[in-house]
Amino acid sequence: PDVSAAWAQEVRELAAEQNAVILAHNYQAPMIQDVADHVGDSLALSRLAAATDAETIIFAGVHFMAETAKILSPDKRVIIPTAAAGCSLADTIDADQLRAWKAEHPGAAVIAYVNTTAEVKAESDICCTSSNAVEVVESVPPDTEILFLPDMFLGAHVRRQTGRSNIHTWLGECHVHADISPSDLVGAMTRNPDAELYVHPECGCSTSALWMASSGEFPADRTHILSTGGMLDAARSTSSQTVLVATEIGMLHQLRKANPGTDFRAVNPQASCRFMKMITPELMLQALRTGRDEVQVEPAIAAHARAAVERMIAIGK
């Protein structure tokens, strides 16, 4: 008997009985992605969480994402298969550290990447994700100072894209993306000189990728800095035979499904997020059977955090 088919059927039946929607991030294991109702990047999943009619959201992703779903849908039950699925990037700043940073820059606008806790979002003016960070920064008047947190590589990317020098960046990083290094990138490009290149802006190699593109070492028209959702859009229409992908390797599953004719290769095949992979098939089933772990956000914190997330969602509508 096909164990995975039986597992998927049980998951789907339990979800239907409870009027639950299953949302999965692009970095989830392939089995989890395939059983979900929707797979997407953090912005798409936030929008889906805000719009769903389901009573329960089963969030297959990391804790800050499930928390964002709860912030947007406070009357819904939001379950994460394990609350232990954290994020090393979100852990680089807490609310006390942010309050101290704000005190050093009175009047600055605080832009928080969604990879932050609810308490940090509550101290922020507006959130952003990797797919809208540039637009969010551009929504702030040019003469207003910006505190951008917590990812320094994404911060460097928005500084480059907007040409603004009044952006202060928190020195946080995602251990998975920071480990996709310039030497991994050069090695992959040397082995695949005709390939196209997709780089997530959280990567340690994103600055080198752009530098190589601007110096002509690698063709600029084949170098793209993209969020996970942006990578999927690009994959659907690419005519390249090979695409080198610099992000967490769970992404390859959706890219290969989107365009089976192209060979998508990881720049660093070890780039796997252990927090994302904590959502196992067993825990998914347990979440549906037992309702563990339900995500709660203190109402006053949620109200402030919601304002920051909703300002982001309104941009680009």
- Residues binding ligand SF4 (CB under 6 A): 27, 62, 87-89, 115, 174, 176-177, 248, 273, 275-276
* DSSP 3-state of 111: strand
**Joined tokens for residue 173:** 């990083």
Nearest Cα to 116, choosing from 64, 167, 158? 64
Region from 68-76, 103-111, 123-131, 288-296 binding ligand 13P, contact rule CB under 6 A:
123-131
The answer, yes or no, to whether the previous bond of 293 is cis (omega within 30 of 0) is yes
User: Alpha carbon of 154 to those of 119, 149, 191, 205, 211: distances in Å?
Assistant: 21, 9, 27, 11, 15
Tokens 């090979």 found at: 242
132 binds, among ligand 13P, ligand SF4, none (CB under 5 to 8 A by kind): none
Q: What is the largest CA-CA distance in the chain?
A: 64
Q: Which of residues 18-47 bind ligand 13P (CB under 6 A)?
A: 26, 41-43
Nearer CB in complex with ligand SF4: 167/249: 249
Residue 227 interacts with ligand 13P (CB under 6 A): yes or no: yes
User: Alpha carbon of 14 to those of 19, 21, 140: distances in Å?
Assistant: 9, 11, 45
Nearer CB in complex with ligand SF4: 31/273: 273
Asked if 146 and 139 count as a contact pair (C-beta separation under 8 A), the reply is no
Tell me the residue number closest to ligand 13P, measured at CB: 41
Residue 169 interacts with ligand 13P (CB under 6 A): yes or no: no
275 binds, among ligand 13P, ligand SF4, none (CB under 5 to 8 A by kind): ligand SF4
42 binds, among ligand 13P, ligand SF4, none (CB under 5 to 8 A by kind): ligand 13P
Nearer CB in complex with ligand 13P: 62/210: 62
170 binds, among ligand 13P, ligand SF4, none (CB under 5 to 8 A by kind): none
41 binds, among ligand SF4, ligand 13P, none (CB under 5 to 8 A by kind): ligand 13P
Q: Residues 28, 82, 130, 259: which binds ligand 13P (CB under 6 A)?
A: 130
Q: Residues 129, 223, 238, 240: which binds ligand 13P (CB under 6 A)?
A: 129
Element (H, E) at 305: helix 299-314
Nearest Cα to 199, choosing from 151, 90, 207? 207
Beta strands in 34-161 (DSSP E): 38-40, 56-60, 77-79, 109-113, 126-128, 146-149
Shortest reach from residue 174's CB to ligand 13P, in Å: 6
For ligand 13P, the binding residues (CB under 6 A) are: 26, 41-43, 115, 129-131, 174, 202, 227-228
